[in-house]
Amino acid sequence: MMRHWMRHRIFAIAGLWLGLAAAQAQEACPALTRVGFSDLGYTSFREAGEIRGISVDVAKELARRTGCRFEFIWYPRQRLFVELEAGRIDMTLAALRTPERDAYASFLPYAYLQYDLVLSDPAGQRYTSLTDFVARGSGRLNVTRGMSYDPAVETQLALLAAAGRLEVVNDFDTVFGKLEMGRADGTLATPPIYARHLKSRRFKAAPSVIPMPESSARITGIYMSRKTVGAGARARYASAIRSMVVDEVVPVLYARYFDDATVKRIFRQGSAPLLAASAAQD
């Protein structure tokens, strides 16, 4: 009788503990996490009325691991961080870390990006770098407003601007539309961006893609609003993203859109720098 009572008591306490743990887990999830996306090639795009892409796949995996409910919302690129700062969305992905964004949001790293020089002229392969193109070329570059580049890249863009060879436009759709029509000679873009545009557009000849030594591989990740996402939820998301990096899930998601060589190039630094950058946020 006593043994039966004790066993019942243990089960009751265990059930209470599991119930409390479940309640705490539920409290760590917001009622709804609003995730903002914009036009970034294979990173995020709209097709048949649906938002798709690498960032969407990452967000879906994050939702699966945390059990939290997400809503996906589309914005023009120049509006995305305005909406995040204002608290009208809770999260955005494929973002570079900046001091301005750190003021109102928390950063969670999960991947890398690196800019290449894309020239509409197939003979562009004669250039070895952006510096070489600036010094020896005569073409005009179009770049997208709001992008952040390495200081060495910014120096060369300033030289192009001074020579009247640089134009800043609002989005990548405009950039590649102008390249397709011959109204611009080149741009700076990452593989997820230019790979989708080069595949979907009709160029007279295949454009040249030149890796830029002026551009280093940079860490990209998620920004979460501190205004609308509580500390418990931020910790929950951070833990899930770290587990995705440790499990090397993100390169697998990239492989849905790229060949093995491109995925290996993007993630050639491995997971250690991502985990170190994540630990530095704590």
- Could you read off the pLDDT of 106-134 as tens digits, one per residue? 999 999 999 999 999 888 889 999 999 99
Average pLDDT value for residue range 227-238: 96
What kind of fold does domain 31-112+219-279 have according to CATH?
Answer: D-Maltodextrin-Binding Protein; domain 2 (3.40.190)
Q: What is the average pLDDT value for the chain, to the nearest integer?
A: 89
Q: Which two tokens stand for residue 200?
A: 């979907």
Burial class (CB in 10 A: 0-12, 13-18, 19+), 215: buried
Q: Which residues, in sequence order, are CB contacts of 67 under 8 Å at separation 6+?
A: 25, 29
Q: Report the C-alpha gap between 110 and 75 in whole angstroms.
A: 22
Domain at 116-211: CATH architecture:
3-Layer(aba) Sandwich (3.40)
- Could you read off the pLDDT of 71-112 as tens digits, one per residue? 999 998 889 999 999 999 999 999 999 999 999 999 999 999
Same fold, 31-112+219-279 and 116-211: yes
What's the pLDDT at 282?
A: 60
Threshold 0.75, pTM exceeds: yes
Q: Report the C-alpha gap between 274 and 144 in whole angstroms.
A: 26
**Residue 7 pLDDT > 70:** no
Domain limits of the chain?
Answer: 31-112+219-279, 116-211
pLDDT band at 204 (very low <50, low <70, confident <90, very high): confident
Question: DSSP E strands: which ranges in 97-145?
Answer: 105-113, 116-119, 141-144
CA within 13 Å, CB half, 228: 18
Task: Determine how β-strand 208-211 pairs with β-strand 186-189.
Answer: unpaired
Identify the CA nearest to 219 among candidates 84, 56, 44, 94: 94
**Residue 18 pLDDT > 70:** no
What's the pLDDT at 26?
A: 45
Backbone phi, psi, residue 214, to 5°: -75, -15
